[in-house]
Amino acid sequence: MIDILSSATSCLIICVFIIAALLMHFRILSALLALPILAIVIAFICGVPYDEIIDKIINNGSVKLANTYTTTLFGAILAELLTRHNIAAKFIKFTAEFASDNPILMSFGVIVVTSVLFSTIGGLGAVIMVGTIVLPVMLSLSIPPRVAGGIFLFSISLGGLFNLASWQLYIDVLKINPNEIIKFVLPFSLIYILILLVFLIIELRDNLAKNLPYFMGLFIGICTLFFNIGKFNFKISVINYTNESYKYTFWLFGLSIIYAIFRHRKNITNISNWAMLIPFIPLVLVLLFKWPFISAFVLAISYCVTLTWTKDSIKILTSSIIDGINKVIPAVFLMIGIGMLLNSVTSHYVSSKINPILNLIIPHSALMYIIVFTVLAPLALYRGPLNLWGMGGGIAALINQSGKLTGKALMGMLMSVGQIQGVCDPTNTQNIWIANYLGLETQSLLLKTLPYTWIMVGAGLSLAVCLGYVNW
């Protein structure tokens, strides 16, 4: 009798997941509301006591991802400053001038610059700001609209691999350290770029002959980096990053204050080329000097203020704090919902009902890990069960808790399958805006990008296996 009730409860939980996914798919219910509702409904179904729902799921769940959304808030402030000072626009225009009238060089320049920018900035506002610059330039070079849209979407998603706020979510949910993320992201980004080169070769093949030397050079360079990435990881792991890096960084900040005073006295208002290095600061501090994420963003914000100082800088900083935070409030609330869902599904009342189903689905070998998650990759769409920023957060926490797959294996899987959602999902606000701007249907962008993105999924899962995250 108990087994029958348990099976019925499990089936009911699956039905609730499916209903939630359909409601989000048809835009009847947003993910902002669906995730906390899902957390509470599942808890009720599984008989979680009322006091535990109030205390552990709603109260503690709301602050479970506090580190993640605090990192997001500071990242949003830096992104707003970069936008207000037109640093991102200056970055892109410099690339356009360098690429001249070569479609392939321009496309690769867009990939590099956009991915760098979107490692720091984010949101629809940033997409519109960058898109209104790069898309017309690509179209003016006779790059087809669907290809231009695909290049832009791939570039945004490539930058997202290095987004520190998303790293913090993996750390909080899967309990892994930043070094493990770095060891996967660096080689995966090189695989990503190689697949993007294939995309450019196929989609812009009419321009291939005169650009063949560039492609050969890039291909050899990326392959060399990929096969030596292990040595690079070893080297950056043995440098002394602690007190020395803090000391020299603050000395440099002192010099930037002197520069700000000089700008103020001379009433200088133009932005120097040095300011274009600001988007790199958080990444360098985290990747090379092992700084905490929030501290890296705070220092980058401080540098941005001093290196762009004008008499209105304090007002600009204050308004950037307010407007930047306003722009990411939906993302913050989404993380609150994810936290509630995490605490709900990891409750022993719920996990005891879901674990038997997961045991049937979770692959137990490296080969099945690659095959199963490659086939199921579209479940990352629409905040589905393989999307960390949706229902996947709870599922990942359960699998991690069961011990069937390690946190590293889950991180490799979620980052890999997440590319389908990041690039292809027709419900993404950036996909909708880009399609409308180019006069296309969102489905046409999906069809253009999906074959390449699916290859990325398989490549990322294979990389996770090669790194030893899953036993053969």
> CB-based contacts of 5: which residues, under 8 Å, 6+ apart?
none
CA 176, 182, 184, 185 dihedral sign is positive
Q: Round to whole Å and give the CA distance between 334 and 123.
A: 14
DSSP string covering 375-437: HTGGGGGGG-TT-TTTTHHHHHHHHHHHTSS-HHHHHHHHHHHHHHHHHH-TTSHHHHHHHHH
- The single-letter DSSP state of residue 121 is -
Residue 228: the pLDDT is 62
Q: What's this model's pTM, rounded to 2 decimal places?
A: 0.80
Encode pLDDT of 172-226 as tens digits. Answer: 888 888 888 888 998 999 899 889 888 988 888 776 666 666 666 666 666 666 6
Q: How many CB atoms lie within 10 A of CB 193?
A: 22
Mean pLDDT over 42-54 rounds to 90
- The single-letter DSSP state of residue 439 is T
Residue 114 has pLDDT above 80, yes or no: yes
Encode pLDDT of 237-256 as tens digits. Answer: 444 445 567 777 878 888 88
Encode pLDDT of 387-443 as tens digits. Answer: 777 677 777 777 877 777 888 999 999 999 989 988 888 777 788 888 888 888 878
Mean pLDDT over 49-60 rounds to 91
Encode pLDDT of 427-456 as tens digits. Answer: 777 888 888 888 888 788 888 899 999 999
Q: Round to whole Å and give the CA distance between 292 and 216.
A: 38
